[in-house]
Chains A and B, each alone.
Chain A
Amino acid sequence: MNLLSAARSQARRRHIVALAVLGAGLAGAIVAGLLAGSVPMGANDILHAFAVNLGISDDPERLTDSVLWAIRLPRVIGGAMVGAALGVTGAGLQGMYRNQMADPQLLGISAAAGLGAIAGIAVTPVGGPKIVSILGAAAAAIAAAWLMRKLARRVGESTQFVLVGVAVGLALVAWLGAIVLAWDDPRVPSFTFWVFGGLTNVTWSTLIAAVPLAVVGLALVWAHAATLDLLALGDDQARHLGARVDRSRSFISAGVGLAVGAAVGIAGVVGFVGIVVPLLVRRVVGPGHSWLIALSGLGGAVSVVIVDIYARTLASPAEIPLGLLTAAIGGPVFVWFLLTSGRFRT
């Protein structure tokens, strides 16, 4: 009895330390994200911008105020949302398919969202609301998540299943590329944007449409954390412990679709965050999904906000596509993880 409560309080300490570190990391990343860029800015410029834009101060508006308020702040918030969405959905998919390689990109869900976003743009009149494209992305992502569930039942939750997802994803990316390249329309972001993603197009109006979808999606995934724990024992044993396994998978799939749709809708396909962040978080805090999902969301947000700083400053004034950097960093980390797993409690 003492042993169990000792183990639990030790785990709780680890969770709280991880939460504090990632929370502080996110706060720091956001401030850094606001400061970084071609227009130099200091901490008092940030305070000034908030004061002016929130109507607290009557000071005359400066250039930094509008740069911060109209460009950097939405971009940083968008980055945090995209990262949280990818981290949480990666953790959710990995748990639901009992496969540590599951992730929205590898299962083709992100590519489907890209196609849905383009379909949404196609039906939106010029200057029309952004939400149509984001809703299109979410609808397509939900459909893809649902399709993958059907396919998983057929091929089993194995490596083969991930390969099926990769194949579906690559085919969808090919379609996406063909459509974007053939359809010469200034409203449609470039092929590079969809395949490598980026936060260049994030504005308040896209955020207002995307953030609520992402929040609902993430809440749906998180709400089923306890069932995901039981699912580690297999479908039958989870059911014998009272879990409504199919129902939970449906809700998680829907949540994944909403969140991935929101993320891809504003930022295109950003790879590797969904797979690497939950793997790292699991290594630190263990497999319990309640903390794993929450901290993966936080870890994803920190990662994307930080990587985006480099995406826009490394080659300034040019921008490096965000997904290019996440893949360049995430790929090796993933390989390192695979090579070292087993030596740690994963």
Chain B
Amino acid sequence: MPMAEARNLTVIRSHATLLDDVSAGVGAGEIVGVVGPNGAGKTSLLRALAGDITPTSGSVRVAGRDPVATPLAELSRIRAYLEPYQPSDVVFTVGEVVAMGRRPLRHTALDSQEHDAVVAASMADVDVGHLAERALSTLSTGERQRVGLARILAQQASVMLLDEPTSALDVGHQEMVMGTLRRVARMGVAVVIAIHDLNLAAAHADRIAVLSEGRLSADGEPWDTLRADLLSEVYAQPMRVERHPTRSCPLVVVVD
């Protein structure tokens, strides 16, 4: 049974159809990459799964529940959501911000040492431990993005919805983050990533959903969804799909 799922999901906002009859899901332990051009509906799909927007028609279930009808405090223990941009004017320290990820779990029977341990491990997982005492406002965009990720990891939700979690990261940290997400998935977390980098998705996602103008164009394993003809059409840009020289995944190459 999928941990998070959209069924015939349609979202219309001020006459614009953001999502059109989309059915997709993510199971426990699975990483699903959502790709597609700007305005294809990636963020809308994530926000609908997060309970931020109400479906015009169709339904959304997260851990078997309707997120819009679930009290926010409860919902925050089920799903975590990472926004693509982390505010630059926050004067809380990195440690304080990551600890905010523990707020949904403040009524659990953990003592502060155990909470601290989770916070410290989350920071280490995305290489921000050394920034713990710095104010968020003093960090670079990519460092802030990693802090956001650490906060999401600290939340320990069973569904992680990540909107462009790697957009501001260097290649090394991109791989590090994807490796961390794989480890998290192995512990049974369902991970959905909206992502522009097709090769990052190809290398690390179990499945890829291709959105185009609000509709689901393809949904399946990377080799089945990252097809040259489909991508070239969806992105209006000629592309070829090769085999990655060392990984057994597709390698998308932009051509003229």
Interface residues of B in 76-124 (CB under 8 A from A): 76-77, 79-81, 83, 86-87, 89-93, 95-97, 99-101, 103-104, 112-113, 116-117, 119-120
Residue contact B72 to A234, C-beta cutoff 8 Å: no
In the complex, the chain B residue whose C-beta lies closest to that of A3 is B132
Q: How far is the CA of A242 from the CA of B112 in the complex (A)?
A: 20
How far is it, in angstroms, between the C-alpha of A229 and the C-alpha of B106 when the chains are bound?
15
**Interchain nearest-CB distance for A268 vs B (Å):** 33
For the A-B complex, the count of residue pairs with Cβ-Cβ distances under 8 Å equals 80
Known: A3-B132, A4-B132. 4 other contacts (CB 8 A): A4-B95, A5-B112, A98-B89, A242-B76
Q: B100, A241: Cβ atoms under 8 Å? A: yes
A233-B90, A236-B83, A242-B72 as given contacts; A288 in contact with B103, CB under 8 Å? no
Are A240's CB and B76's CB within 8 A? yes
Check B155 for interface membership: any CB of A closer than 8 A.
Answer: yes
A286 at the interface (CB under 8 A from B): yes
Knowing A4-B132, A242-B103, say if A234 contacts B91 (CB, 8 Å): no
**Contact of A241 with B104 in the complex, beta carbons under 8 Å:** yes
Of residues 269 through 314 on chain A, the ones whose CB sits less than 8 Å from some CB of chain B are: 282, 286-288
Smallest Cβ-Cβ distance to A4: which chain B residue: B116
Q: A1-24: contact bitstring with B at CB < 8 Å (1 yes, 0 no)?
A: 101110110000000000000000
Contact of A241 among B90, B96, B129, B155 (CB under 8 A): B155
| Complex: chain B residue closest to A341, CB-CB | B91
Q: Please give, as numbers and ranges, the residues of chain B lying within 8 Å of A1 by CB-CB distance.
A: 113, 116-117, 120
Q: Least Cβ distance of A3 to chain B in Å?
A: 6
Nearest residue in A to B130 (C-beta to C-beta)?
A: A3
Given B73, B93, B116, which contacts A5 in the complex, CB threshold below 8 Å?
B116
Q: Does B75 contact A (CB under 8 A)?
A: yes
Shortest C-beta distance, A309 to chain B (Å), equals 33
Let me know if B50 is at the binding interface, CB within 8 A: yes
For A288, list chain B residues within 8 Å (CB): 92, 96
- Residues A240 and B80 in contact, CB atoms below 8 Å apart: yes
Q: Mark A222-241, 1 if CB is under 8 A from B, else 0.
A: 00001001101110110111
Does chain B have a CB within 8 A of A346?
yes
Partner of A4, one of B79, B81, B120, B155: B120
List B213-256 residues whose CB lies under 8 Å from chain A: none
Distance of A321 Cα from B80 Cα, bound (Å):
53
Known: A4-B120, A287-B91. A241 touches B52 (CB 8 A): no
A226 to B106, CA, bound (A): 12
Check A150 for interface membership: any CB of B closer than 8 A. no
Instruction: Check if A345 is an interface residue, CB within 8 A of chain B.
Output: yes
Sampled A-B contacts (30; CB under 8 Å) = A1-B120, A3-B95, A3-B120, A4-B119, A5-B112, A7-B93, A7-B95, A7-B133, A8-B112, A98-B89, A229-B92, A232-B92, A233-B87, A233-B100, A234-B87, A237-B81, A239-B72, A240-B50, A240-B80, A240-B81, A241-B76, A241-B155, A242-B72, A242-B74, A242-B77, A242-B104, A286-B91, A286-B92, A345-B91, A345-B135
What mask results when residues 196 to 224 of chain B are scored 1 for a CB within 8 Å of chain A, else 0? Answer: 00000000000000000000000000000
Inside 8 A of B120's CB, which chain A residues have their CB? 1, 3-4
Chain B residues lying within 8 Å of A244, measured Cβ to Cβ, are: 72
A52: Cβ under 8 A from any B Cβ: no
Residues of B within 8 A of A346 (CB): 91
